[in-house]
Amino acid sequence: MASSTTGEKKILTLKGGDNEEFILEESLVLQSELLKNMVKEERVSSIPLPSIKSKTLVKIIEYLKKHAELTPSNKEEFKNFEKEFVNVVLEELLDITVAVNYLKINGLLEFCCQAVADRIKDKSVEAVRKIFRIESDFTPEEESEFRKETPEAFEGDLDDTTN
């Protein structure tokens, strides 16, 4: 049941993957299409998000707060915050991106994807596979053909997957 308070700010609890609880104003989570629908349709007051690490959730809530405070006068400050926001190791940035995609926070999703693209654009094919945790689904023949045709796409540091 949703809290029956009228006039007061509604409070919502989000539960991260490791059962850590985050209590915040309902108005904040409305920026997420997923949570908005849950709150509006099912009138819930506590939402478990087992697939999202608490560390990731902390970052996203931080963003939601900043974004809610965005006004024309602090636009510059918000831009700097955004820049700092994505300045984390690549794996963490991808965790955030996956969670944001799940929560459907559209503006932030675009921004995260842009940031990931910027970080991977010069990496080798192997590094990109590692980063996205995918494996080649080409036949060994196709694979060696690629390596022969575009050897430069396979050059680069294989361990260079965290920056």
Partner 1 sequence: MRHSITVRFSRTPRRPMKKKMNSTGRKLSIPQEIMYEIFSWLPVKSLVRFKCVTKFCNSLATESDFLNIHVRRSMTRPGGTEFFSHETRPVFYTTGQIEDGRASASLLQIDDFYYHAPAYSGLDYVNGLFCFWGPTFAGPAAIFNPSKGENRVIKKSISSRSSRQEVNNYHGGSN
Piece of the chain touching partner 1 by CB under 8 A; list 39-47, 52-60, 67-75, 108-116: 108-116
User: In this structure, what are the phi and psi dihedrals at residue 8, rounded to the nearest 5 degrees?
Assistant: -85, 165
Say if residues 95 and 107 touch (Cβ distance below 8 Å): no
**Cα–Cα dist 150/39, whole Å:** 51
Angle at 156 between CA 141 and CA 162, to 5 degrees: 110
Give the binding-site size for partner 1 (rule: CB under 8 A): 31
Map the footprint of partner 1 across residues 134-163, applying CB under 8 A: 134-138, 143, 146, 149-150, 152-153
**What are the backbone dihedrals phi and psi of residue 162, each rounded to the nearest 5 degrees, phi first?**
-105, -20
From candidates 34, 101, 104, 160, binder to partner 1 by CB under 8 A = 101
Task: Name which of 11 and 153 has its Cβ closer to partner 1.
Answer: 153
The owner of tokens 């629908």 is 37
- List the one residue from 52, 53, 116, 161 that touches partner 1 (CB under 8 A): 116
Give the interface with partner 1 as residue ranges (CB under 8 A).
Answer: 94, 97-98, 101, 109-110, 113-114, 116-118, 120-122, 125, 128-129, 131-138, 143, 146, 149-150, 152-153
